[in-house]
Structure 1
Amino acid sequence: MWSMWSVVLSAVVSVCSQIIPEPTRPVDLWNPFGPPSTPRPKNQGLMSNEVAVRLSIGDLIGKKLLLENLPWTPNQDPSEQMPPQRSHFDPNPLPARNNVTIYVFLGVPYAEPPVSQRRLKPPQLIRELPSKPYMAFQFGATCAQDVENRPQIFVNDPYPFTVNEDCLYLNIFTPDVSKVSGMSYPVIVFFHGGNFQTGSANEWPAHGLASRGVVVVTVNYRVGALGFMSLGDSSSGNYGLMDQRLALQWVRDHITTFGGDPQAVTIVGHDAGAVSVGMHMLSPMSKGLFRSAAAMSGAEVSYHSYIGKPALAFNNTVKLGRYLGCTQSIAFDVWNCILSRSTNDIVRATTDIPIEYNRYLFLPTVDGVNIPGNPLWILNNAPTGLSAIPSSVPLLVGMNAQDGTEVCYPAQFLRTVQGGR
């Protein structure tokens, strides 16, 4: 029996390996299985591969990394090189050996932990780093989610990150933190995808972009019920979008220390992250926090990406409550009852409850504040003056070359097991 599965699995890997290219970046630069950091003894100076920065909320220590043999340098783009027809043939060409130093700060908290009394509430900006100095060497926890429900290229690949409700962390990749150079780099703030149900900033390392002269910030935000559960009013729900906005405020306040220009921030998102980008452009609450935007493989006008009817959001919360044994007749009592349940119970219930409308129970909800109205209605009526787009900034929209590979492997696996049907 096991030999049959081995043959099947080998066949599937062979098929998908032709579709999914092997990563070309050095794996050890973004491997999350690195050794855990240990508390630094008092009065111990910086190691040769470490760098310290001072923020208003505390001191931060990150890593200095040397990227070797890159096919580019920060000051030279391949499109700007000599055209082939104008260059001379070199019988013994030497490979490019460009070495670039970047600086990485992982697992930096940007908000107070959304646990206990802060659970299912708007995030609060962090006032002080939890340790002095704060060692930003390892990824922070991924927000609570059903990791078995996430897209998987390799079916037996374990989830490499810690999952916890205390998850509001960001990662910073920067070409320079020196004040001597006087450089101020453009900034990308990236929101991951996952249908607002799964995903993590830790899955999107940005060493390559940093080597090109861009400061990149990847952001964790709450997902699923813990990020978007709502009673259909303006005072509940959309916590994941609020997390993203708070991260943008953190970037505005602190990115100068990391060599970034707070006036040159571009928000970029993939999948649900792209939907988030559109939502921030339409939200007056996010105005002034970014200069431009890019949305990859997602749009805020997709009907399955948000909940437009407050009654539906309300009913979904009540449905979750019933599933968890919260049978109170008053909505706020149901809400408080859900708050008393464990993380695992809430996540599992969200996954198990049958869906009658839309793709998921909990999504961004039109609340009149964070999302002022139906996105399609806002866009259609903006030219007539009936609605407004608060952040009318340059927007790049597109899709990615390998979109769909996350479902290719499971689909091919099932077809092979079922005899090619």
Structure 2
Amino acid sequence: MAQPTQRRLVQTPIPGPRSAKMQADRDGAVARGFGTVLPIFVDHASGGIIVDVDGNQLIDFAAGIAVTSVGASHPDVVRRVTEQAERFTHTCFMVTEYEGFVDVAKALNRLTPGDHEKRTALYTTGAEAVENAVKIARSATGRNAVVVLDHAYHGRTLMTMTMTAKNVPYKEGFGPFAPEVYRAPMAYAYRWPGDPDRCAEEALARLAELVESQIGAHNVAAIVAEPIQGEGGFVVPAEGFLPGVQEFARKHGIVFVADEVQTGFGRTGDLFASEHEGLVPDIVCTAKALAGGMPLSAVTGRAELMDAVDPGGLGGTYAGNPVACAAALGAIEAIERDGLVEKAQQIEAVALPRLQALAADVPAVGEARGRGAMLAIEFIEPGTKDPAPELAKQVAAHCHAEGVLVLVCGTFGNVIRLLPPLVIEPELLDDGLTVLEQGVRELA
């Protein structure tokens, strides 16, 4: 198939007539609980462009929620997937083994922060990785309690849904929830009730009080944190907070788990977001960009922790599927060879100043934030810090109508997040940002 030109092209209303017809078919076949950001049906995609069935070419500022960081249908990924699928598509690694699983594990042991001895377990989804990190921490420590943060998102399984902060749509009606999960404040400087300059210090003190006074540090197996929060609003922790959390965890024999499902593999301008403040987590969870669009996740951690679980205690029928492992090796190859970490830094250098200019000029934009190609603007009611979710929806709708795919997120639904593929061409990035700027200035 011929690859689309890397330019925005709007030929019909979005969604167009063919997508609308397919949406009607979809509504009669798919469970209503699957929400949709933009009801278009995709015909093909490449780089930073999505082509729908009506021939519209949309700039992709979503990357499948930070999945296609190497771009849609990257040649290295496609080649390896094709070769592996022709050999075999599945055996189950717990039945008969294959080299690709081991090669991905070795790559993750090499790339994740720290030079200590590591082991890796492969799974299918990010939630599965986080849930297994909790299992491993509990097995290694003999403790039960898990501490997470305000605004966190960790998944949709029972355990990870409990760990997730936001109620609607992730938790409403799905209780009762898993026991022994406790929530501490996040060092969210923009919304900190006290002095923002003391946010890191005060948030850490509150976490320590929770652990020591209310739970008992000797009962805590793990503290799980996203180095930059994703669904919660692309919240960048105040400098010093996460290093303090890591130090506190180690002092009390608590496993420090970094949920890098959305931040990992170059997204934030470091290979892993933990590296920004020199964090060396005991366990790192990855997924999304790991396999360039194929379902694969991983838990990588200190060897003594990972090996605390007896044989048979970890796994899954599809865990580390051979085709997904092949895709991961292609994606990792592209990230390292093509300097995509540096390209994320270049995206930040272009995009963040433009978002910050919006925050300076438009009273309804409370803050622009993020790192690398993980950037966001938060909308407020002017003159306050009250969230403005309707404005965020309106701006997103404007972008969609103009052929730019953006996502809304945040605990209050008032944040627009940008997750362009790291391979996006400069002209495409500029065009997409211009559409966003126009929408903000007109609607706000």
Look at both structures and tell me which one has the larger radius of gyration over its CA atoms. Answer: 1
Asked if these proteins are the same fold (TM beyond 0.5), I'd say no
Looking at both structures, which has the greater relative contact order when contacts are Cα pairs under 8 Å and sequence separation is at least 6? 2
